[in-house]
Structure 1
Amino acid sequence: MKVVFMGTPEFSVPVLEALHARHRIVAVYCQPPRPAGRGKADRPSPVQTRAEALGLTVRHPVSLRSEEAQRDFAALDADVAVVVAYGLILPQPVLDAPRLGCLNIHASLLPRWRGAAPIHRAIMAGDRETGVCIMQMEAGLDTGPVLLREAVEIGAEETTAELHDRLSALGARLIVQALDSLPLPATPQPEEGVTYAAKIDKAEARVDWTRPAVEVDRLIRGLSPFPGAWTEVNGERVKLLRSRLAEGQGAPGQVLGGFTVACGEGAVEVLEAQREGKRPMPAADVLRGLILPAAL
């Protein structure tokens, strides 16, 4: 099939590779290079980097709303467009241009967690399962009918980074299956159970030790690795990247030993952390150079 691929971050790369192995990708659309690193030089996205390595044509328009951009897209004469974490709204002329429309790979069990941050929000909310849906796109935000879906359990100590990688691989497998099976019956999403996965705000990342331990643990795992939940230690902002529930009680923020901290209810043991200007390290290594106060 003639496929237009539309994606930007690392999550999208395994999907691009799986499609490239089986179909003809006539163009790759991704977000433009952005300033990154200490020098703030423009850095291409993971999808652009991989697409260029595969010898594929890459486009990164700032918008798809202009008539010129829509004509260029339609001129590709694609059978289907596959969209996964692209980052731009697709106007109706773009949605209508491919012969079989536009298919979206969404990392949740729709209609739960429509929107920008479904993996983070599933962990932060304490969901026991999530999954991937292959959806026929329409103008609404993640509202289209579902062609394929598969659920996975969320591990008790799983981080967003780990779940991200599992769902990315699952999405790659499901989209190949979907394209091999088209046309597929489209199941409308139920009207009940709709939730929205709002973009993560960095203001959410500071740990509030007065919250129950289950909520603090979910926050740490859900925001790992980015933006990273954090707490202040002796005036230094320390990111907490991995945790688990622990035995113990105390005043909220009280250090109970090692890197185990009391919460409003119960306690959390920090397993991995990152000091300012340092790489992520196991908590035991962090504590060799960081003396925790009696309370955080």
Structure 2
Amino acid sequence: MRIAFMGTPPFAVPTLAALHAAGHQIVAVYTQPRPAQRGKKVQQSAVHNWAEEHDLPVRTPKSLKSPEAQAEFAALDLDVAVVAAYGLILPQAILSAPREGCLNVHGSILPRWRGAAPVQRAILSGDGETGVTIMQMDAGLDTGAMRLVGRTGVDDKTAGELTDELAAMGAALMVKALSDLHAFLPEAQPDDGVTYAAKIDKSEARLDFLTSAVQVERQVRAFNPMPGAFFELDGERYKLLAAEVVHPTNSIAGATPGVTTDDALTIACNPGAIRATRVQRAGKPAMDAAELLRGRPIPQGTRLA
């Protein structure tokens, strides 16, 4: 098929690679430039890098709202556009230009977790299952009809692990959908069960020990690798990369939420407690908690913020 691919972060790369491997004619790759980690210099997105390495033409418009951008897109004479975490709103003129419209790889089982951060919200909410929906895009926010759905358990996966799994699943499902669009006809999303996955605010990554140990452990997984769940001690930020719930429901007698209950970085919550297992100090490599504590003891009774 004659395809334009539209995506930006690493999540989108497996789908682009799968379409390329399947022999589809990718006539243009649309992607957004990404800001560098430090400073204001922009850098190429993961999709941009992959496309260049495979000699695919890349376009990086700041918007698709102008008549010029829409005319350039229409001139591609597309069978379909494939979208995966592109990051720009597609106007109706873009949605309607390809003969088969625009298909999106969305990282949830719609209509649950429409929006920007479905993986993190699924973990934070304690969902037992999530997945990928191949969706026929319309003008709404992830409201389009569904063509294919894949499912997987959330289990104890971090957001990074789950994102990688869903990216691979979405790539396979998109190739399957394009193999015969008439075999996977669009089905309207159900009216019940709609939830919205708001974009993650960095302030959410501060660990809230006034919530339950189960919820704090979900925070740790949901914000690994980015932005990284953290607490502060003596003005220094510590990212908590992994933790285990050691007391899920019962509060420890005499313990105050946010205060360590032993010398092994067990932290009281409300209720329960978690024990840190992997930690990263600011500007330092990640390490096991036991290694951290050998060089920087955190004794029982230490208050963490």
TM superposition score normalised by structure 1: 0.96
Partner of 2:259: 254
> 1:210: how far off?
1.4
Letter in 2 for 1:179: L
Counterpart secondary structure, 2:27: strand
Counterpart secondary structure, 2:261: strand
Moved more, 259-268 or 38-47: 38-47
> 1:35: how far off?
3.3
1:265 aligns with 2:266: no
Identity %: 55
Partner of 1:175: 174
Q: Which runs of 4+ in 1 moved over 4 A?
A: none
> 1:285: how far off?
2.2
> 1:83: how far off?
0.3
Partner of 1:200: 200
Letter in 1 for 2:159: T
Q: C-alpha deviations, 1:108-143, integer Å up to 9, x for none?
A: 010000000000000011000000000000000000
> 1:40: how far off?
4.3
Partner of 1:140: 140
Instruction: Give, in whole Å, the separation in 2 of the partners of 1:40 and 1:88.
Output: 20
Instruction: Give, in whole Å, the separation in 2 of the partners of 1:282 and 1:101.
Output: 49
1:9-158 → structure 2 map (5 Å cutoff): 9-22=9-22, 23-32=24-33, 34-38=34-38, 40-155=40-155, 157-158=156-157
Counterpart secondary structure, 2:291: helix
Instruction: Give, in whole Å, the separation in 2 of the partners of 1:53 and 1:25.
Output: 14
Q: C-alpha deviations, 1:203-260, integer Å up to 9, x for none?
A: 1111121111111111111111111111012221111111221137232122123122
Instruction: Give, in whole Å, the separation in 2 of the partners of 1:288 and 1:6.
Output: 48
Instruction: Give, in whole Å, the separation in 2 of the partners of 1:80 and 1:95.
Output: 10
Counterpart secondary structure, 2:192: coil
Letter in 2 for 1:96: S
- Counting matched residue pairs gives 294
> 1:39: how far off?
5.3
Partner of 1:232: 232
Instruction: Give, in whole Å, the separation in 1 of the partners of 2:70 and 2:292.
Output: 52
Letter in 1 for 2:214: V
1:290 aligns with 2:296: yes
Letter in 2 for 1:113: W
Instruction: Give, in whole Å, the separation in 2 of the partners of 1:84 and 1:40.
Output: 25
Counterpart secondary structure, 1:147: strand
Moved more, 88-97 or 247-256: 247-256
1:208–1:37 CA distance, 2 compared to 1 (3 A): closer
Moved more, 10-19 or 240-249: 240-249
1:35–1:144 CA distance, 2 compared to 1 (3 A): closer
1:274 aligns with 2:280: yes
Counterpart secondary structure, 1:255: coil
Instruction: Give, in whole Å, the separation in 1 of the partners of 2:84 and 2:173.
Output: 12
TM superposition score normalised by structure 2: 0.93
Counterpart secondary structure, 1:112: coil
* Runs of 5+ unmatched residues, structure 1: none
Instruction: Give, in whole Å, the separation in 2 of the partners of 1:287 and 1:60.
Output: 47
* Runs of 5+ unmatched residues, structure 2: none
> 1:90: how far off?
0.3
Asked if the contact 1:31–1:87 (Cα under 8 Å) also holds between the matched residues in 2, the reply is yes
Partner of 1:219: 219
Counterpart secondary structure, 2:52: helix
Asked if the contact 1:202–1:227 (Cα under 8 Å) also holds between the matched residues in 2, the reply is yes
CA RMSD of aligned residues (A): 1.3
Q: C-alpha deviations, 1:121-166, integer Å up to 9, x for none?
A: 00011000000000000000000000000110111x2110110110
Letter in 2 for 1:128: G
Q: C-alpha deviations, 1:55-95, integer Å up to 9, x for none?
A: 00000100000000000001111111000000000000100
> 1:286: how far off?
2.1
Instruction: Give, in whole Å, the separation in 1 of the partners of 2:39 and 2:64.
Output: 30
> 1:175: how far off?
0.3
Letter in 2 for 1:264: N
